[in-house]
Amino acid sequence: MREVFGSLGRGVYRRKGVVLWAWVVVLVANLYGALRLPSMLLGGSGAIEHSPSERVASTLSRDFHSPLAQPAVVALESRRHTVSDAVFRGWIEAACRDLGRLAFVRQTASYLDHPDPRFRSANGHETMILVGLRARTMGAEERLIPRLRESLRALGRQVRRQDPSAKLAVTGAAATTYDLNHHNETDGRIAELRALPLTAGILLLAFGAPLPAALPVAVAISALTVTLGLVFWLAHLVALSNLLENIVSIIGLAVGIDYALLMVERFRAARQESPPETAVVEAMASAGPAILASGATVMLGLLAMLLSPLRELRSIGIGGAIVVAVAVLAALTLLPALLGLLVHRLDSVRSGLLTSAPARRRWHELAEKVVRHPRKTLALALVLVAALGWPVFRLDVGIPDSNWLPASMPSQVGIAILAKMDRGNFAFPLTLIVRSRGGGPVLAVRHLPALVALAQRLENDPRVGEVLCPVTLAGPADLLETLAFYHDPTRALALHPEIAAWFLSSDRRSALFEVIPRNGVSTTAAQLLARQCATWQVPGLHLAVGGEARYYDDIDDAVNRSFPQIVGFVVLTTTAVLFWVFRSWLLPVKALLMNALSVLCGYGAVTGVFQLGVGAAIFGQPGRLASIPGYVLIVIFCVLFGLSMDYEIFLLCAMRDVYERTGENVVAVVQGLATTGSIVTSAALVMVVVAGAFAWAEITVIKMIGLGLAVAVLVDATVIRILIVPAFMRLAGRWNWVPGKRVPHKFPAPR
């Protein structure tokens, strides 16, 4: 393996001009896609195949043409006027007229068409317009939201001129996911702008001059640009989540800089005694296998997310694996070519503070202290880890109830208006579809008692604010009168054509029940209601439950099913790779335990800040959350498990090489830590800065992932890799290297 990478380095050096031009062409070719990618990404997790919520959503799009089937909602508020005023009514008329001109709008429904108190607030200052869209999927609805808002832009300006306090906002499930997409794009760019200057400062401390410090950044940005361009074309074939862009940015910048950092440091060490070509060959032979092994473990951790049915996790797995592969390729081709081209300008640059000879001496002294007192060091370090990880025992997994999305999002402005109408959950109802079992119309006389009983049961539930269905549309009449009214369904439909238009399927065999949770009802309570409704028996009818609460239930079920599979895949494959690299039974097990400690600290930080509220204000989080989404925990686990292996492999490669040359375990531990401490610290600081920059994002999910990764990596590269690992290996002695079979892939120790 050493010879293979040495030959690759020699080939790249001798053809550095061709390699550099090839990378320029690849970068230019992918730049367009990288800039256009956000328009191709979707918000939310997408439909979960074969789940109850997915079956109900398919039935709605196929059999119903109701504006209540996942509607877009235009919310309108005025402090100066009410719906009884001509000015306010004029706004409603103008909105319906502008929306009606759009080819993709099937119909609108407003207070002017249906003077129903449900379309307005009690004081008349707020109202809503339902907008039925001609879209068969949530993704199609998302793509219509900007066009819908654009059609109302002129009216919005007019409304604010006539009443500066007035608000007009488009909300609903599709609008929320569209806004998430837009905010994720903005969050990513802002976080990158925060991270790059700090990263540059760390690299300057490591290398002592701008030119060598710029090389890792150039490699990382190149890898990220190429990846985003490739993902753009892939998004034409596969539905991908908007979370991909932010997480890929974290991973791409982190691993790209880490691999380049290792390569540049090995090159500069080799250059002290060798001509340029030989220095490139030695750097490739030394760092190349470690970069490849590290890249393999990171990719395996990310690819494990493909075992989840959630679009968010699968997207991150795909994008993350691609960016790691491109970063490895860039570190092994683009970077050696740049080193060969700039070698003479690099020769005059002295080492920085983090990699200087005094720094290496300090690492050597620290390593000697650790191996002299391994038990005390191990005990102290484990206490620190336990202190950081203890909040995880208070962890509740699930979809949060509040403070989940930025209040400034247009969709959230609309939801705030609906909340003043006591319909804050109107855009996220529980959807029930009842279908006649024996065929025939669902409003047949024999089904009416069961339908009325179902509506009454729902209305009597304290968690339910409102039920919209065929047997309640006529108003709060006595149930017996309602039953008598519907005794002749044909006549009832003739008198109330809106019943068929809003609540009946095309074949009249299914009816729609829209159940609006009461204001203030928690997500957990709504999910429980959905599960309970799914167990109800309706005589003569089949009941299917969908909607947002049921969808959240399906997400939780998908996470619970896939998490053990993901953990098992990562553990088994990582163990196999580590055994292949080190030919040791103990080291892979030790690495898994160390990574588990890192994950524990990451989970503890997320739980402590976002669920317990400790320091939440520092990160712009307005309050505590009731729970942490399960998919956030999966992302942190998979990304962290892979990235932690960077430091593990860098450290163990150096220790193993010394042990093979000397046969002395203590010497191997001390020299290994002394030679890699600077690299591991510099790489970890870069990762902490990159991930930490996302902890101040607007979207709470991104905050959680950024904070969890930053804390875990910081602990991993300091307490765990610098204290726990050397102490453990000192106590394990020669058992670290059993069975001790010589590895054919030799990793020379750093100079």
pLDDT of residue 747 exceeding 50:
no
* Rounded average pLDDT over 301-323: 89
Last residue of one domain, picked from the residues 510, 532, 553: 553
Exposure b/e, 446-465, CB count within 10 A at least 16 = b: ebbebbbebbeebeebebbb
Q: Which residues contact 348 (CB under 8 A, 6 or more apart)?
A: none
Tokens at residue 444, please?
């047949």
The single residue listed with the structure tokens 């290398």 is 207
CA of residue 588 relative to chain centroid, distance: 28
More confident site: 561 or 746:
561
Residue 311 and residue 180: Cα distance in Å, rounded? 15
pLDDT of residue 492 exceeding 70:
no
Mean pLDDT of the chain: 84
CB atoms closer than 10 angstroms to residue 718: 17
Residue 7 and residue 282: Cα distance in Å, rounded? 10
More confident site: 582 or 635:
635
Q: Which pLDDT score is estimated for 381?
A: 92
End-to-end CA distance of the chain, in Å? 19
pLDDT of residue 121 exceeding 60:
yes
> CATH code at 481?
3.30.70.1430
Residue 607 and residue 390: Cα distance in Å, rounded? 9
More confident site: 460 or 519:
460
* Rounded average pLDDT over 522-541: 90
Residues in the chain: 751
Residue 230 and residue 223: Cα distance in Å, rounded? 11
pLDDT of residue 751 exceeding 60:
no
Lowest mean pLDDT among 207-221, 228-242, 299-313: 207-221
- pLDDT bin (cut points 50, 70, 90) of residue 603 is very high
Tokens at residue 524, please?
């957990």
Q: What is the DSSP letter of 695?
A: G
Tokens at residue 470, please?
């065929």
- 93 in a structural domain: yes
Q: Which pLDDT score is estimated for 400?
A: 79
- 125 in a structural domain: yes
Tokens at residue 565, please?
């599979």
CB atoms closer than 10 angstroms to residue 710: 23
Q: Which pLDDT score is estimated for 78?
A: 92
Q: Which one of 139-143, 224-228, 516-520, 665-669 scores highest in mean pLDDT?
A: 224-228
- 684 in a structural domain: no
Is 137 strand, coil or helix?
Answer: coil
Query: Do 431 and 514 meet the contact criterion of CB atoms below 8 Å apart?
Result: yes
More confident site: 612 or 743:
612
The single residue listed with the structure tokens 């219509």 is 144
pLDDT of residue 405 exceeding 90:
no
- pLDDT bin (cut points 50, 70, 90) of residue 748 is very low
Last residue of one domain, picked from the residues 553, 569, 599: 553
- pLDDT bin (cut points 50, 70, 90) of residue 409 is confident
125-171 pLDDT per residue, tens: 999 998 888 776 666 777 888 899 999 999 999 999 999 989 999 99
CB atoms closer than 10 angstroms to residue 135: 18
In sign, the C-alpha dihedral spanning 287, 292, 296, 298 is positive
312: number of CA atoms within 13 Å, CB side? 22
pLDDT of residue 47 exceeding 50:
yes
The single residue listed with the structure tokens 């393999």 is 296
- pLDDT bin (cut points 50, 70, 90) of residue 750 is very low
Q: Which pLDDT score is estimated for 334?
A: 93
pLDDT of residue 481 exceeding 60:
no
Say what the pTM is.
0.82
Residue 81 and residue 549: Cα distance in Å, rounded? 35
**Farthest-apart Cα atoms in the chain, separation:** 99
CA distances in angstroms from 270 to 10, 86, 352, 724, 745, listed in the order given: 14, 82, 16, 30, 20
Q: What is the DSSP letter of 618?
A: G
* Rounded average pLDDT over 225-244: 88
pLDDT of residue 70 exceeding 60:
yes
Q: Which residues contact 552 (CB under 8 A, 6 or more apart)?
A: 398, 399, 523, 526, 527
At position 638, the amino acid (one-letter code) is: C
pLDDT of residue 677 exceeding 70:
yes
pLDDT of residue 620 exceeding 50:
yes
Q: Which pLDDT score is estimated for 406?
A: 79
Tokens at residue 487, please?
């005794």
Residue 562 and residue 569: Cα distance in Å, rounded? 10
CA distances in angstroms from 501 to 54, 69, 149, 477, 673, listed in the order given: 23, 11, 25, 21, 72
The single residue listed with the structure tokens 């750093």 is 750
> Strands, E, within 286-383: which ranges?
none
More confident site: 675 or 491:
675
- pLDDT bin (cut points 50, 70, 90) of residue 652 is confident
689-735 pLDDT per residue, tens: 888 888 888 888 888 998 999 999 889 888 888 889 889 989 888 88
- pLDDT bin (cut points 50, 70, 90) of residue 434 is very high
321-353 pLDDT per residue, tens: 999 999 999 999 999 999 888 887 776 666 656
Backbone angles phi, psi at 501, to 5 degrees: -65, -35
- 477 in a structural domain: yes
Backbone angles phi, psi at 142, to 5 degrees: -55, -45
> CATH code at 162?
3.30.70
Q: Which pLDDT score is estimated for 45?
A: 58
Last residue of one domain, picked from the residues 553, 579, 597: 553
Peptide bond into 739 cis (omega under 30): yes
Q: Which pLDDT score is estimated for 214?
A: 84
Q: What is the DSSP letter of 494?
A: H
Exposure b/e, 227-245, CB count within 10 A at least 16 = b: bbbbbbebbeeeebbbbbb
CB atoms closer than 10 angstroms to residue 668: 25
In sign, the C-alpha dihedral spanning 54, 58, 59, 64 is positive
pLDDT of residue 445 exceeding 90:
no
Q: Which pLDDT score is estimated for 477?
A: 41
Number of folded domains that form the chain: 2
CA distances in angstroms from 410 to 111, 182, 592, 622, 685, listed in the order given: 22, 11, 44, 18, 36
- pLDDT bin (cut points 50, 70, 90) of residue 743 is very low
- 103 in a structural domain: yes
- 112 in a structural domain: yes
Which range of residues forms the domain containing residue 133?
Answer: 71-171
Query: Do 515 and 498 meet the contact criterion of CB atoms below 8 Å apart?
Result: no
Q: In the structure, how many helices (H) and strands (E) does the chain have?
A: 26, 8
Q: Which pLDDT score is estimated for 347?
A: 65
CA of residue 410 relative to chain centroid, distance: 21
* Rounded average pLDDT over 381-396: 92
Residue 141 and residue 106: Cα distance in Å, rounded? 12
Q: Which pLDDT score is estimated for 476?
A: 36
Residue 546 and residue 51: Cα distance in Å, rounded? 9
Tokens at residue 382, please?
């484990």
Q: What is the DSSP letter of 238?
A: S
pLDDT of residue 490 exceeding 80:
no
- pLDDT bin (cut points 50, 70, 90) of residue 469 is confident
Residue 303 and residue 569: Cα distance in Å, rounded? 9
Residue 199 and residue 190: Cα distance in Å, rounded? 14
More confident site: 141 or 218:
218
pLDDT of residue 416 exceeding 70:
yes
